Structure 1
Amino acid sequence: MSLASLGISAGFMVGWCIAAQIARRVTRRLLTNEGIVPVLMNEAIAAAELCACCFELIIVADNFGVAAYAIFLFMLTVWWGKVWGDASACPYTHMEDMLEGRTTFKEMALRTWAELMGGCCVYRIVQVFWWLEFAETHKGRAFEECSADLKVSPYVGAAIEGVATLLCRLASKAISEKEPKFSSYIDSFIGTSLVVAAFNFSGGYFNPVLATALKWGCRGHTNLEHIIVYWIGACVGAVLSVPIFKLPKVRRFLLGEQKEKEE
């Protein structure tokens, strides 16, 4: 495939990032900072940005390989970490907050709903872009039947998504506490590495909203299997990270000298 096609994919993702940033600024101007509505809008915008870019990352992975996919994902993750603010576009982060007493069940449910709306509704816009076929890599993709990325049994896939999510969340918590130099780059590198490691087994989504927006109803797994792998697997892994991170041995391992000094 030509580099021109890769450039078009890159331009599409950059365009979405710019559009999402504009949407965030407009939202801040039109809505007050009080109440749940601005929070839900930010989550919906972040989820739409995430899913739109990841739809195009599928094109990149299919035509230019996992290495190109990983480079783009790493750069995007760094960007999102800088501009999303309190939004996460991922429901299990709110589950963690609820367990820690930082949010309520109602807010968790509303944020998850907003993320699903933003992530799932954006496909129609992506589909139009693919239908225009600006790049040769888009030919026939707009109305192509999608295939699941799950290459193992649903229970193995759930274990992979769960364990990888657990490791990712433990790393993020440790980085958040230690605040090392280039912390956002380190966090993004760890997340991207885990995605690449799981890519050929479960797809490496580690985000129920992202998996649902991209792969719900695709050929290769039932809807129940999708829920088991991408919702139950990932959410259980994230929820387990809360008590596991509090274990003294885990904290000593992850936080090192900082923990020893505290003791």
Structure 2
Amino acid sequence: MYTYSDVGVSFLLLFISVICCQMLRSVSRLLIPPEYQQYSSEAISTFQLVVGFMEGDIILELLGPWGYATFLFFLVISFILTFDGAADPGNTFFNYLMGNIDGGTALCRVVFQVIGGQFAYPWVRALWRAEMSTPHANQVPFMDSICPSCLQVPLMYGAMAELLATFTYSFVLALDVVGGKLERYVDAGTQVVIIMIGYTWTGMMFNPALAAALTFNCRDHPFYEHVAVYWLGPLAGVLIHSILIKSAIEHGHIDDSFTVKKKLYEMSHKIVSSKSIYSCSLKTAKKDD
């Protein structure tokens, strides 16, 4: 049975993490040369992404699926308002395919996204070990054990689920149904719906950096399975989406390819591909230290 104080602790820890990330962003802008700030932005944003969804596991335990869905919606909105990086290799891959960035830049961004996600786990573990609430204290013993695999379906089905989730999300955003500031709510709502539909299959992350932070090296989850489901699946979805966009440009269904490419590039920095681990890491933790 949850108490308001337990929920309040989760929001407090999340607030502390967001403030620390904002401070890191300010410091990085002062100390890091402008041409390299994109990489620090990716690391910090991915760090914040993983921290947010790890704290979301406590909310899931306290408030159940619908409470978690509500939390997730506002969490994604907070990401959109604070992130200055894509925090998703899928977005980076898309920008590479559309010719907005070169291969070296894309690879460096992905590396820093993965690194940022890896730093989130020890940060959350340190916060939870403060045992500011009973739910957090109860999770501490599990954080030093090896997590079970999130994949609850055969490998091929899991990869297809991640592919379809990524493609659906990208396609809905590319439609630009509402535009303007309302687009952030479409983004958040789309993610919540997709996650709620498919969380029991793969954890429905459709973000390789998030998956690398939370499922890599889990029990009964070999390396090839992780790559096939959580990397090749989402990236294949991005590839299909980019092919459709390019085809629409070439056949004149989209008038100005430069404008479209510019809009999609800007969208990939405003709209964060942040995903949920929903039920995977609840009761368990990450890696064997």
Is 1:154 the counterpart of 2:152? The answer is: no
Equivalent runs, 1:56-135 vs 2, <5 Å: 56-85=55-84, 87-135=85-133
C-alpha distance in 2, partners of 1:241/1:203? 22
1:165 Cα deviation from its structure 2 partner? 0.5
Q: How many residues align?
A: 247
1:247 Cα deviation from its structure 2 partner? 4.8
The one-character-per-residue Cα deviations of 1:84-141 (angstroms, maximum 9, x if unpaired) are 23x1111111111111111111111100110111110221111111222211112342
TM-score, structure 1 as length reference:
0.87
The one-character-per-residue Cα deviations of 1:183-242 (angstroms, maximum 9, x if unpaired) are 111111111211121111111101000011011112242222111111111111112111
C-alpha distance in 2, partners of 1:72/1:152? 27
Q: What corresponds to 1:233 in structure 2?
A: 233
Is 1:9 the counterpart of 2:10? The answer is: yes
2:155 is aligned with what amino acid? P
Q: What corresponds to 2:276 in structure 1?
A: none
- Superposition RMSD in Å: 2.0
1:29 Cα deviation from its structure 2 partner? 2.2
1:181 Cα deviation from its structure 2 partner? 5.3
C-alpha distance in 1, partners of 2:131/2:122? 15
1:5 Cα deviation from its structure 2 partner? 1.3
Equivalent runs, 1:181-220 vs 2, <5 Å: 182-220=182-220
The one-character-per-residue Cα deviations of 1:24-50 (angstroms, maximum 9, x if unpaired) are 1221222342x1x21100000001100
2:116 is aligned with what amino acid? G
TM-score, structure 2 as length reference:
0.80
Percent of paired sites with the same residue: 26
Q: What corresponds to 1:47 in structure 2?
A: 46
C-alpha distance in 2, partners of 1:7/1:178? 34
C-alpha distance in 1, partners of 2:9/2:33? 37
Is 1:179 the counterpart of 2:162? The answer is: no
Structure 2: tracts of 5 or more residues without a match: 254-289
> What SS is found at the alignment partner of 1:141?
helix
Structure with the greater relative contact order (CA < 8 A, sep ≥ 6): 1 or 2?
Answer: 2
The one-character-per-residue Cα deviations of 1:37-78 (angstroms, maximum 9, x if unpaired) are 211000000011001111111222234222222222211211
Name segments (4+ residues, structure 1) moved above 3 Å: 245-248
